[in-house]
Amino acid sequence: MYKLLTIAVAATFIAACADSEQNTSTIDGQLVSILDALGHTADPLASRTLPAITDPKAQLGKKLFFSKALGGRADSACVSCHHPMLGGGDNLALSIGVDAEVPDLLGPGRFHDGFRAAEDNNSHFDGGPTVPRNAPTTFNIGLWDQVLFHDGRVESLDKIVAANGAGAGGIRTPDSAYGIADPDSGDNLVAAQSRFPVTSPEEMRGFIFAAGNSNAAVRSGLEAVLNAVPAWSIEFALVYGDGTVSYTRIADAIAEYERSQVFVNTPWKAYVDGDSNSISESAKRGAMLFFSSLQDGGANCASCHAGDLFTDEGFHVLAMPQIGRG
pLDDT of residue 207: 79
Count of residues making up the chain: 326
Q: What are phi and psi of 200, to 5 degrees?
A: -85, 120
| 10-residue averages of pLDDT along the chain (326 residues) | 48 45 75 94 90 97 97 94 96 91 94 72 62 91 93 86 62 93 92 96 82 84 95 98 97 98 95 95 96 95 93 87 70
- For 97-141, the three-class secondary structure string (H helix, E strand, C coil) is CCCECCCCCCCCCCCECHHHHHHCCCCCCCCCCCCCCCCCCCCCH
Q: Name the region of 51 (left: φ>0; alpha: ψ -120 to 50; beta: rest).
A: beta
CB 222 within 8 A of CB 209: no
Residue 284 identity (one-letter amino acid): K
Strands (E) across the chain are located at 147-148, 154-156, 171-172
What Rg, from alpha-carbon coordinates, does the chain have? 25
C-alpha neighbours within 13 Å on the C-beta side of residue 29: 6
Cβ-count burial of 176 within 10 angstroms (0-12 exposed, 13-18 middle, 19+ buried)? middle
Model confidence pLDDT, tens digit, residues 58-72: 999 999 999 999 999
pLDDT of residue 22: 44
Please give the pLDDT value at position 169: 83
**Per-residue pLDDT, 158:** 80
pLDDT at 164: 55
pLDDT digits (tens, 9 = 90+) for 136-153: 999 999 999 999 998 899
Per DSSP, the three-state class of 65 is helix
| Cα-Cα-Cα-Cα dihedral sign, residues 45, 58, 148, 169 | negative
Whole-number pLDDT of residue 117: 63
pLDDT, position 280? 96
pLDDT score recorded for residue 166? 52
